[in-house]
Structure 1
């Protein structure tokens, strides 16, 4: 388990993380979400002892990272895929990491096989694509067979097959009883991958819940209704205060549970061809809940008018 207690980080006048407390449960994939500039990377760096908190503490299995004797055996992390000497081979890079934590050299070939890099193990890492670098970074995170894994944007550069692989892989790690904490901007993928969510904005905790609870709390659930007898059902829905929106082939009903709609249909002799809950998406929930916490807003018209030719706007 990971536990952050009143975690705070200040850079001069900039408060990057503000009294942040949350827990990451064992046996779950927990997504770490927030707008650009929310403090996600700073928080993960403090977890790994790369930045010292201004206040508060974060522990992994009850210990600070600096207190771990062989950290790679307890915590595996991927924060920066390109963090590797470009002239080292993938095998040499992992062998150096293994030796530093007294990990068996056999484990190097095992993790190379797990991430699908065995055939390029002796090639220079500097020639790897971003997707291959991501796989090498994941191999490094797995090297010590750790109980806790931290991934920052692990699907960057991966093709659809690779994204599906890392999704199933993270879920399998959680099923094995490991703690998996993953930050990503790809919300559609997080909706499929993460069981729990920690959502922050401007360095503060916005929400900690299951993914399902987060979406349900932030979006209006509706029920799709198709029936050849809408003329009988519609007045009954109006009488109970439902919000009804006609569609091409039926109705979208909000404010009334599907069970109640079914009862009304039976009472009014309305045959139902479809009665299907329509849950909002994680993207919709995220935009609604974090809207006031976005630090960097893009004004496309202003950017195109004011940005000098050949220069890209900086948004993070």
Structure 2
């Protein structure tokens, strides 16, 4: 288990992490989300003892990282897939990690098999693709068979096959009863991977909840309706106090459920060609709840085009 309590980190006059408190329980994958500059990496570095908190505590299995005698046997982490001497082979890299924590050499070949790198174990890590480097990083994290695992952007730059493999790998680790905390910018992937979410913005905690509750909290009910009598249907919905907006030949209705809309259409003898509730995505919810916490905003395409005229 990971327990973060009142964690704060300042760099001069800048507060990177501001009084953040959350718990990462075992047995599930916890997604760690936030816009760029939100403080995710700084928080993970403080959990792992790489940055010293200005105030607050971060405990791994009830201890601070510096109190762990053989840390790799308690916590494994992948923060930077390319953090490896380029001239060392994959096996040599893992052997020195094992030696530093009193782990048997046989464990090296076990984790290489586990991540699918046995055939390239003798090759220089500097020549690895990003996907192979991610797998080597995972092997290092698993070397001590730890109960707690932290992954920072583990699917960055991977092809679809690699992304699916890592997703299933992390879920399998959690299913074994391990604590798994993973940050990612790929929201569609996180929606399929995580069971629980911790979301921060500008260093502050925004949400600590299940994926389902996070989406429900941020999303309004929306129903898509298509009909050859859209004007009549819009009038009927407006009279009921609902909002109906034309989008690509359909009405997007908020404030009313599909059943109510269907009954209203039937009462007015309005023909419907489509009546579907739209399921909000994790991306929709994330953008709504963190939009004000983005450090740098890009200019929209329409604004760019207007400025060029």
Query: What interval of TM-score do these two structures reach, taking the shorter chain for normalisation?
Result: 0.7 to 0.9
Distance 2:269 2:27 in 1: 48
Corresponding position: 1:111 with 2:114: no
Q: Deviations over 1:227-269 (max 9, x none)?
A: 6776775555334322223455643221112343344456556
Q: Which residue of 2 aligns with 1:11?
A: 11
Q: Deviations over 1:137-193 (max 9, x none)?
A: 011111122221100010123111101111111122222222111111222221222
Q: Which residue of 2 aligns with 1:2?
A: 2
Corresponding position: 1:289 with 2:305: no
In structure 2, runs of 5+ residues without a counterpart are 305-309
Q: Which residue of 2 aligns with 1:26?
A: 26
Deviation, 1:202, is 1.7
Residues 187-202 of structure 1: pairs in structure 2 closer than 5 A: 187-202=187-202
Distance 2:267 2:110 in 1: 63
Distance 1:11 1:141 in 2: 29
Deviation, 1:90, is 0.4
Distance 2:271 2:206 in 1: 44
Residues 1-316 of structure 1: pairs in structure 2 closer than 5 A: 1-226=1-226, 236-247=236-247, 250-265=250-265, 274-298=274-298
Q: State whether residues 220 and 279 of structure 1, in contact with CA within 8 Å, keep that contact through their aligned partners in structure 2.
A: no
Distance 1:67 1:269 in 2: 72
Give the alignment's TM-score, normalised by structure 1: 0.86
Distance 1:132 1:168 in 2: 16
Structure 1 pair 156/248, CA: closer, same or farther in 2 (3 Å)? closer
Give the alignment's TM-score, normalised by structure 2: 0.88
Q: Which residue of 1 aligns with 2:307?
A: none
Distance 1:211 1:129 in 2: 32
Secondary structure, in 3 states, of the residue corresponding to 2:284?
helix
Distance 1:280 1:230 in 2: 23
Structure 1 pair 46/255, CA: closer, same or farther in 2 (3 Å)? same
Structure 1 pair 62/37, CA: closer, same or farther in 2 (3 Å)? same
Distance 1:295 1:249 in 2: 36
Deviation, 1:55, is 0.5
In structure 1, runs of 5+ residues without a counterpart are 305-316
User: What RMSD in Å do the two structures reach over aligned CA positions?
Assistant: 2.5
Q: Bigger CA drift: 284-293 or 57-66?
A: 284-293
Distance 2:29 2:269 in 1: 46
Distance 1:10 1:161 in 2: 39
Q: State whether residues 221 and 256 of structure 2, in contact with CA within 8 Å, keep that contact through their aligned partners in structure 1.
A: no
Deviation, 1:91, is 0.8
Deviation, 1:221, is 2.9
